[in-house]
Amino acid sequence: MMSNTSFWRASAAWMIGLAVVFGVLPLVTSSYQMSVATEILIFALLAMSIDLLAGFAGRTSLGHGAIFGVATYVVIYWTSTLGGSPWLALALGIVAATLTAAVFGLFAVRAGGVYFLLITLALGMIVWGVCLRWTSVTGGENGLRGVGRPAIVADPTMFYYATLATVLVFTFVIWRFANSPFGLSLRGIRDSESRMRSLGYATATHMLIAFTFTGFIAGVAGALYALFNNFVSPSTVQLSQSVEGLLMAIIGGVGTLFGAFIGSAAIILLENFVSEYTARWPMILGFMFIGTMIFAPQGILGALRELFRRRRS
């Protein structure tokens, strides 16, 4: 186990490293590649929200894609159908996602393991069903078209930096949350719920707060996505969104937080690369899942940390 100061130093190094690497990207890439980078950042935030819950609270969710998409829908609905202010839209989107997460949480917190997975899956499907059938509001199958970004972030480079700033800020927020006393108690619950309960912790309430917080983060990502994509449809809330987010968290390394960036970059870049040569991306994604589960369930960053730990001792 790393000492406290080296842990802080390592985390600080990560944050600075990310800021630098992503910060100089626009100088060396084309505008298309920059938009891919923007997407990587947005999904890294989603993956982080899933990782926080899975890695620190020990609960794997298949519903965060739906929560993410709820924010996207609200943002686009507010600006496009209702013609409202984009800033208010972002706020409302995030609030809506957080509320959705709270509702999901109420259903899910007393369950664990596979059952938690299944409840969140079912709830996500309900959200998807609503988005698909409530045509008058959500546009049904056709989805809703956005009205473009507000002037300050209309330029792709400006939007990229705005996204980067937002993602870095919230990464810091998540990191503080995970390493706070509350975060530690979550880890305690993950390791042994019964012991925590006997120590007097209201484990269900803790879980609910954790779930709602991760929903809030997913909502921020979803709101950014609305500005990025300028379009939303039921595919934004469908199961595969949650599955890909989970895969990103796993590949990066569950419980590592920063691994989410690696996972997001890995999946998005690979998909871009692979689909230029073949239509068999789903099969490759499937093999990645299988391979990761068998050979590297701790993910890339997790494996690296194992390596360092072993070298150290």
Partner 1 sequence: MGSLNLVQLLNGLTFAALLFIVASGFTLIFGLLRVVNLTHGALYLFGGYIGYSVALATGSFTLGALAAMVSVALLGIVLDQGLLRFVRRYELREVLLTLGVAFVLNDLALVIWGGDTFSIPVPEALRGATQIFGSYYPKYRLFVLILGILVFVGLWLLLNYTRLGALIRAGVDDAEMVEAMGINIRRVFLATFMLGSSLAGLGGMVGGAFLTLYPTADAEILVFSLAVVIIGGSGSLPGAAIGALLVGLLNTVGQVMFPELAYFVVFGPMAAILAFRPLGLFGKAA
Partner 2 sequence: MNRREFLQSTSLALASVGAGTLPAGFAAAQAAPIRIGLMAPLSGVVAAGGREIVEGFNMYWEEKNNTVAGRKVEVVVEDDAGNPDTALQKARRLVEQTKVDFLFGNLLANTGLAVANYVKGNGVPYFIPVIAADDLTQRQRVRNVIRLAGYTASQMPRPLADWALKQGYKRIATIAQDYSFGHEQCAGFAQVFTEGGGTIAGQLWNPLNTADFSPYIGQLANMNVDAVFAMELGADASRFMKQYADFGLKGKIALLGAQNFTDQSVIRTSGEECEGIVSSAHFAEGSDNPETQKFVKAYTAKYGKMPSLYGFSHYSGALWIGQVIEKLNGNIANRDAFIDAVLKSELSNSPLGRPVRFDNYGNPVYDVFIRKVVKNAEGKYWNVPIETYPNVSQFWKYDPETYLKSPPFSRDYQGIKK
Chain contacts with partner 1 (rule: CB under 8 A) = 60, 106-108, 110-111, 113-115, 117-119, 121-123, 125-126, 128-130, 132-134, 239, 243, 246, 250, 280, 282-283, 285-290, 293-294, 297
Query: Contact at 8 Å (CB) between 252 and 262?
Result: yes
50: Cβ–Cβ under 8 A, 6 or more apart, which residues?
60, 61, 64, 214, 218, 242, 245, 246, 248, 249
Q: Residue 38, interface with partner 2 (CB under 8 A)?
A: no
Q: Residue 11, interface with partner 2 (CB under 8 A)?
A: no
**Of the ranges 172-180, 195-203, 270-278, 303-311, which one interacts with partner 2 (CB under 8 A)?**
270-278
Residue type, 150: P
Name the minimum Å distance from CB 251 to partner 2.
20
Q: Residue 32, interface with partner 2 (CB under 8 A)?
A: yes
**Of the ranges 45-53, 143-151, 190-198, 214-222, which one interacts with partner 2 (CB under 8 A)?**
143-151
Considering only residues 11, 81, 185, 230, which one is a binding residue for partner 2 as defined by CB under 8 A?
Answer: 230
Q: How far apart are CA 269 and CA 251, in angstroms?
A: 13
Residue 183's closest CA among 255, 129, 291?
A: 255
Q: Residue 286, interface with partner 2 (CB under 8 A)?
A: no
Give me the residue label for tokens 């730990």. Answer: 309
Q: In 3-state terms, what secondary structure has residue 63?
A: coil
Q: Residue 195, interface with partner 2 (CB under 8 A)?
A: no
Strands (E) in the chain, as ranges, are 144-145, 231-232
Given partner 1, partner 2, none, residue 107, with its beta carbon under 5 to 8 Å by kind, binds partner 1
Given partner 1, partner 2, none, residue 236, with its beta carbon under 5 to 8 Å by kind, binds partner 2
Residue type, 186: L
Name the minimum Å distance from CB 182 to partner 1.
24
* Encoded tokens for 225: 């996505």
Residue 142's closest CA among 63, 81, 66, 97?
A: 81
Judged by the rule CB under 8 A, the positions of this chain that interact with partner 2 are: 30-33, 35, 132-133, 135, 140-143, 145-146, 148, 229-231, 233, 235-236, 272, 275, 277-279, 281-282
